[in-house]
Every structure is written in structure tokens, then in C-alpha cells.
Amino acid sequence: MLLTDTHTHLYYETDAEKQAQLMQRCFDHQINRLFLPNVDVASITMIDELVSRYPENCFAMAGLHPCDVKEDYESALSEIYASIERRKIYAIGEIGIDLYWDKTTLGIQQSAFHAQIKWAKALSLPIVIHCREAFDEVFELLESEKDDKLFGIFHCFTGNLEQAQRAIGLGFYLGIGGVVTYKKAGLDLVLQDVPLEKLVLETDSPYLAPVPFRGKPNESSYLIHIAQKVAEIYQVPVEQVAEVTTANSIQIFKV
């Protein structure tokens, strides 16, 4: 069995010994592929250091998180874009729109999102979308950019069936994380009408830990609990969930 965590901030753990323990727990659960979303300029180095330690297992992205889009965002984008020339990346992410914390920055969030979609298209890379309380705004921008070069993942998808179908129709896979294990989230009901072939798995560690660790720091090794819940929803063996979702991740990231 081979599981893929398509979205983890495992690099936030900077203690080398603790980081090694986190990785070993992943390997113990057959989680051997981890994709690392970038959030700001400072995280570039953190990601690169983890990739250098585990080049066969860890894969970098580059992008500016919408919550890190400030007035000087163009400077941050320039630094992040410049880093792409000297490092191997597999996606532009995580990028998008977040209106949960601050609605006043919508305009510059849209500008940054649009600019980074342009990067992805020029580099023939997928985008990994952060969308929080902003489905309408994200869909509006994606539909204006829709073509055969636009594809990727709706990270931490928690929308309804209509939103799921709309995302898939635009060429995106749904990133399913710990929320699927929460009893009142309703995501399990949405997935009953979504093909497994349109899903990838993720943890978003250290956030959104699945049951039975809800409320505690998340880690990539907990992906096994997400995979088991998805297997339960689709009534298939967990090995099949691992096989299909890892194949989907290979299709997206080309590695």
C-alpha cells in the first residue's frame, strides 16, 4: 500500500529529531509521498531543507497563501517566483482566496491569485487552491481562466455537492482531509455522489486533525485515519483508496 499526503506543512516542525520522528511515523503507515505547500517567503527555506533530507518522499510547491497577501504582496510574489528558477517544484500553491479572517483584502487577494494562476499555466503546473468562505469568488476567477492548462486540487474541500461538481467540472480534484471524519461536517454525504477517482487525500498538518485526534496537533501519519474513513464511505478496502488516490496525485503532480 502506498499513501500520498497531497498537502502537509510538516516543515513547520524545525527540530530535526522531532521531524525525523514525524517522517518515520509516516513510513510506518505506508505514507511515502508528501507534498509541501508554500505559504510565504520564509517557508521556502523550510520546505527546501525538508526536501533535501527526504528527496524521494517530499515534494515542494511555491505560492503565496491568501492570508499572507498584504499590501506588499507584489514583493513577496517576486521573491517566491524568483525561487522557482533554482528549485524543483510540482505545483503553485497554496493560493486562492480566504474571506474568513479579512474581507477588506479581497481585491489584492484576487490580484495575487490571478498572477499565480498565470505562473502555473506558463510552467504547465497544477494549482493548489485554498478557499475559505469564498467559493463564489474563487469560482468566478477560475471560470474566467478556464482552459486546458488550468487544473489542480481544491485543498481541504468542505463544500456541498453542487460546489464539488463545479470544481470537478473546472478540472480539479477534491482534497479530502480530517474534516471527513467529523460527524456533523456532512462531507461524507457529499462524497457519496462524487467518484473516488476525483479525490486525493491530505492532512493539512498541523491543522484539522482527524478523529480520534480532533483538537490536537495534526501530523501526516494520521492520513491513515482519513483513508480508512474514505474507504468506509465508498465501501472498498483501504488499499483501493490508497491506490486510486495516489494514482490521482501522480496524474496531477506528474511524479
- DSSP string covering 209-244: PPTTSTTS---GGGHHHHHHHHHHHHTS-HHHHHHH
35-84 pLDDT, tens per residue?
999 999 999 999 999 999 999 999 999 999 999 999 999 999 999 999 99
Domain enclosing residue 217, as ranges: 3-253
> How many distinct structural domains can be found in the chain?
1
Within 10 A of 38 (CB to CB), how many other CB atoms are there? 29
Q: Taken in order 25, 172, 230, 161, is the CA torsion positive or negative?
A: positive
CATH number, domain with residue 19 = 3.20.20.140
Q: In what order do the strands lie in the sheet with 58-60?
A: 3-5, 31-36, 58-60
Q: Whose grid coordinates read 456532512?
A: 186
pLDDT tens profile 144-199: 999 999 999 999 999 999 999 999 999 999 999 999 999 999 999 999 999 999 99
**Paired strand residues for 59:** 35
